[in-house]
Structure 1
Amino acid sequence: MTFLRKFSVLCCCLLLLVGCQSTPSPSGRTVTVQVQRVVSGQTLDVLNPTQQTALIERVRLIGIEAPDLKQEPWGSAAKNRFEQMISQTTNQSLVLQPVALEPDVQEKDSTGRWLAYVWCNGRLLNEELVKEGYVLAAPRSPNQKYDTRLARAQEYARLMGYGIWNPDQPMRLTPAEFRRQNP
């Protein structure tokens, strides 16, 4: 059996496995918020309706690491795709939809951003961004609820050569390595 044929069989098996997975849905408590702005491929500004005075809060997606915005072309691609996932086109303008935020064990990071899994139209966007090759899976204890799903999504994107895994134009530095080299 040739390499190409083996690779094709492997890809078909992976697609079959991914297609047979159950439809994801939030498994814990969630809060629905209105997205005000997509800051990057891993960060949102949202209007939090649970506050007495509605405040704009910054939310960092759990379990992923997006390329830095200066890390072209991947940083802007991740941000644009994230924005596209939560937008609807109405009268030729993009309207950001409400999303459901699902926290894990740790609710805020060291800079005060909310940490959450982001759900929109029944899809876990953290996972979708990884699966499409826009961001890396980045497990960080104690928030581990969907680590296995994110790892599988990353392996799928890597095998399929999507986005940052594209063999013709791979992302050579992780976002952390890029930031260290470009302060």
Structure 2
Amino acid sequence: MTLAVFFGIWTRRIVILACLLFLFSCQANNQPTNNQVQVKVARVVSGQSLEVLGMAEQPNLISQVRLIGLDAPDMRQRPWGDEAKRRLEALIGGAEQIVTLEFDLEAKDKIGRTLAYVLKDQLLLNEELVKQGYVLFVARSPNHKYDQRLERAQQWARIMGLGIWQLEKPMRLTPNEFRHQNR
């Protein structure tokens, strides 16, 4: 690779990065709404799902939660599945931590898990996982509240070559493709 090509690639990345930073800074700050609930994390199951306490009338009842807008690598999809799970655990701070679940239009997925955006100390964890390159953003109707933020976060991760997008060792199959090939 010539020096001119190298600088051309980095110049384009810097320009795109500057545009993304501008778009992120223009994003409205979302205030808490009535469709939120605070729960205690029992455990992180994967890079896209949790078990929580405190959603039902019985405070010790465990509920399954799937993060909206994400498709995390399968746990057998090494090393990506394990890394996504560990990163979500780190963002939450471990079991027994309090997080806020924010709901969109559709409350449950087809297997009965609660669908939610997860916030910890005002940080949207769904977005942070995508932005750091641990999971893919996948829009799923009708839950589109944060689609623009998640799409921008994925663009950021791709441009920066983070996580599953790294140039040296990228994830070759999407989680969906991997699950279909490894049934």
Q: TM-score, normalised by structure 2?
A: 0.88
For residue 166 of structure 1, what is the amino acid of its counterpart?
Q
Q: CA deviation at 1:150?
A: 0.6
Quick check: 1:30–1:102 contact (8 Å CA) kept in 2? Answer: yes
Quick check: 1:101–1:116 contact (8 Å CA) kept in 2? Answer: yes
2:47 pairs with 1:57: no
1:30-71 C-alpha deviation (Å, 9 max, x unpaired): 010000000000000000254136300110000110000110
Partner SS state of residue 58, structure 1: strand
Partner SS state of residue 109, structure 1: coil
Which one has a larger percent strand, Structure 1 or Structure 2?
1
2:9 pairs with 1:40: no
Q: CA deviation at 1:22?
A: 4.5
Quick check: 2:99–2:120 contact (8 Å CA) kept in 1? Answer: yes
Distance change >3 Å, CA 147–CA 80, structure 1 → 2: same
Please give the alpha-carbon distance, in whole angstroms, between the structure 2 residues aligned to 1:100 and 1:156. 25
2:116 pairs with 1:73: no
Distance change >3 Å, CA 64–CA 28, structure 1 → 2: farther
RMSD: 1.9
Aligned residue for 1:154? 154
- Using the aligned pairs only, state the percent identity: 54
Distance change >3 Å, CA 41–CA 26, structure 1 → 2: farther
Q: CA deviation at 1:24?
A: 4.5
Distance change >3 Å, CA 54–CA 152, structure 1 → 2: same
Equivalenced residues, count: 177
Gaps of 5+ in 2: none
Partner SS state of residue 153, structure 1: helix
After TM superposition, where is structure 1 displaced by more than 2 Å over at least 4 residues in a row?
4-28
Please give the alpha-carbon distance, in whole angstroms, between the structure 1 residues aligned to 2:29 and 2:172. 33
Quick check: 1:24–1:122 contact (8 Å CA) kept in 2? Answer: no
For residue 127 of structure 1, what is the amino acid of its counterpart?
E
Please give the alpha-carbon distance, in whole angstroms, between the structure 2 residues aligned to 1:6 and 1:75. 31
Quick check: 1:158–1:165 contact (8 Å CA) kept in 2? Answer: yes
Q: TM-score, normalised by structure 1?
A: 0.88
Q: CA deviation at 1:29?
A: 1.4
Alignment partner of 1:15 out of 14, 21, 24: 21
Q: CA deviation at 1:16?
A: 4.4
1:103-149 C-alpha deviation (Å, 9 max, x unpaired): 11111111111110001000110010001100000110011111111
Please give the alpha-carbon distance, in whole angstroms, between the structure 2 residues aligned to 1:49 and 1:114. 10
| Greater displacement, 52-61 / 107-116 | 52-61
